[in-house]
Amino acid sequence: MIMVKDDILKIQKKEDLRQSLSSLRASLKDMENVKAAKELLGDARAVAELLKEEDPKVRKNAAALLGDLGAGNQAEALYQAYVKEEKRFIRSVYLKALGKMDVSPYLSNLKEQYDFLAQYTPLKEEKKHVSEELSALEQILRTEDKGHTFTGWRERLLVVLTTNTSYREVTEKQLYALKKGSHPLGIKAIVENLSDVVKIRTFRELLFPLSLKEDFTADVSPGDGGKLLASSNLLPLLEKCHREPGPFYFRLEIRNGMDLKERSRYALKAARAMEEESARQLINSTDDYEFEVRILAGKDKKMRAFLKMNTIPMERFNYRLHTISSSIHPSTAALLMELAGPYLKKNAQILDPCCGVGTMLLERCKKVPAREIYGIDIFGDAVLGARENAALAKVPVHFIHRDYFDFRHEYLFDEIIANLPMRGKRTKEEQDEFYRKFFDKSQEHLASKGYMILYCNEGAFVKKQLRMHPMFRLEKEFVMGQKGDFALYIIGVKK
């Protein structure tokens, strides 16, 4: 707080301005300091006066500080300073500050400036700063943009559904397509009715492969990579599938062997090239985007490009308002229930002893209707979330905040379904004891013709308890990944 007062006093006296502005801005990361600075600066006129200083870095920091403070009463001063500013590297800073204020009086003028810059051919040394100014203008003007409406439901489209590749056939048999086959990510298909595709519960993501005119390898420069993406079928695909015209706001994600810093630098440069090559019909917007362009490196070291459209309404898992860190992905839960399908009983009485937010239970009931459904969890917040999720899914479930080992019930259950907790900080001995108690307890609650449907990554413990509990038999084991760590176990009661 003392530093804030000292910096503001120096700013008001116009002493050591560069350092004082920089120091004050750094201190505003603390919200208490923001509050104090607003009280001490009042209408922030002392800061706005610095927009007239000869030192361009002082003007730059003063503009950024007004934005940090949200000093809307100085919007006119900021706008006028932006109009008069001759140093290109500062102009985007004025705009970013204005973007945090009411700019409605200046929108038409800012739109004219944007149209001018979009047609302007910058010198090499000013190219970066012109691009930054255009991006800042786009963020302001986008406040009037209501987004894009997906209309490509009946278009003939090439799609990739990402799935568990060990069981891609589960999704493939639910998919009606003109042509379909396996893909390294799951299933590749040509479809004409996307509204049916998005109802399938067992795929994770819907992607659209992009057709590149040349091979995209790790040796391709960011600029050339961006040009390849912009000259692909990306823009025609977006235009074909949406009611509104461009620009289309995207995020570029690269998944290859580069480290994070390298990937970030590459993505930024490639995205700028995409903007330029597409005449700014494609706009990079890492925070507020409707589309994701994803670059994946294959085993042959070639890069494949995919488009993900967040404009496509995905309503499969709308019930899932709440999650916790250990929550299973709903598409995985749906796949598990498809695999367990032959063992699921209609109008069954079901118990989930470690239900979390209810995903496994709710996907079980989406697959086959049930009569009485109980979910138990020792974590109270999870139970609260599960109740809300179940209400949204319109599935009546009795959720109980309790340790399974203290649970009592009058009648037996047809199915005990569980995504068993991972070991975490437990020792091997503690986890072994947990599985012993789990099988002991489940033996009390499972009906004579019932099944346990268990998902976990502790197969050795499961099989040990099967040997220790002769009333159970392993009906089926589905290994869920190439590493063989997670598996689905269908365990029945011996007759």
CATH at residue 283 = 3.30.2130.30
Q: Determine the pLDDT at residue 290.
A: 94
Whether 117 and 206 share a structural domain: no
Q: Determine the pLDDT at residue 286.
A: 80
d(CA 205, CA 194): 13
d(CA 247, CA 107): 18
Whether 108 and 40 share a structural domain: yes
Whether residue 320 lies inside any domain: the answer is no
Cβ atoms of 337 and 367 closer than 8 Å: yes
Q: Determine the pLDDT at residue 484.
A: 66
Domain containing 403: what range?
Answer: 330-493
Burial (CB < 10 A; 0-12, 13-18, 19+), residue 51, is: buried
Give CA torsion, residues 278, 281, 282, 285, to 10 deg.
Answer: 140
Distance of CA 404 to the CA centre of its chain: 33
Q: Among the three residues 122, 144, 166, which one is the final residue of a domain in this structure?
A: 144
Q: Determine the pLDDT at residue 145.
A: 67
Does the CA dihedral 430-433-435-438 come out positive or negative? negative
Whether 88 and 41 share a structural domain: yes
Residues 6+ apart with CB under 8 A from 316: 198, 199, 200, 201, 330, 331
Whether 139 and 159 share a structural domain: no
Whether residue 324 lies inside any domain: the answer is no
Nearest to 360 by CA among 387, 327, 391: 327
Whether 173 and 299 share a structural domain: yes
With a threshold of 0.85, does the pTM exceed it? no
Whether 269 and 366 share a structural domain: no
Whether 344 and 229 share a structural domain: no
Within 10 angstroms of residue 427's Cβ, the number of other Cβ atoms is 9
Whether 283 and 267 share a structural domain: yes
Whether residue 321 lies inside any domain: the answer is no
Whether residue 323 lies inside any domain: the answer is no
Q: Among the three residues 89, 111, 144, which one is the final residue of a domain in this structure?
A: 144
Q: Determine the pLDDT at residue 11.
A: 87
Whether residue 464 lies inside any domain: the answer is yes
Tokens (6 digits) for 350: 């079901």
Tally of domains in the chain: 3
**348-352 and 446-456: which strand pairing?**
unpaired
Whether 16 and 127 share a structural domain: yes
d(CA 379, CA 400): 10
Distance of CA 377 to the CA centre of its chain: 27
Whether 94 and 35 share a structural domain: yes
CATH number of the domain that residue 381 is part of: 3.40.50.150
Q: Determine the pLDDT at residue 39.
A: 86
Whether 171 and 50 share a structural domain: no
pLDDT in tens, the chain (495 residues): 668 888 888 888 888 888 998 888 988 888 888 888 888 888 889 989 999 999 999 999 999 999 998 988 999 999 999 999 999 999 999 999 999 999 889 988 998 998 898 888 888 888 889 888 988 888 888 766 678 999 999 999 999 999 999 999 999 999 999 999 999 999 999 999 999 999 999 999 999 999 999 888 888 999 999 999 999 999 999 999 999 998 999 999 998 877 888 889 999 999 999 998 998 899 998 878 999 999 998 777 788 999 999 999 999 999 999 999 889 999 999 999 999 999 999 999 999 999 999 999 999 999 999 999 999 999 999 999 999 999 999 999 999 999 999 999 999 999 999 999 998 888 999 999 999 999 999 999 999 999 999 999 999 999 999 999 999 999 999 999 767 689 999 999 987
Whether residue 215 lies inside any domain: the answer is yes
Q: Determine the pLDDT at residue 144.
A: 63
Nearest to 193 by CA among 237, 239, 156, 236: 156
3-state secondary structure at position 358: coil
Q: Among the three residues 315, 339, 362, which one is the final residue of a domain in this structure?
A: 315
Q: Determine the pLDDT at residue 297.
A: 86
Whether residue 249 lies inside any domain: the answer is yes
Q: Determine the pLDDT at residue 218.
A: 81
Whether 22 and 72 share a structural domain: yes
Whether residue 441 lies inside any domain: the answer is yes
d(CA 17, CA 436): 69
Q: Determine the pLDDT at residue 363.
A: 97
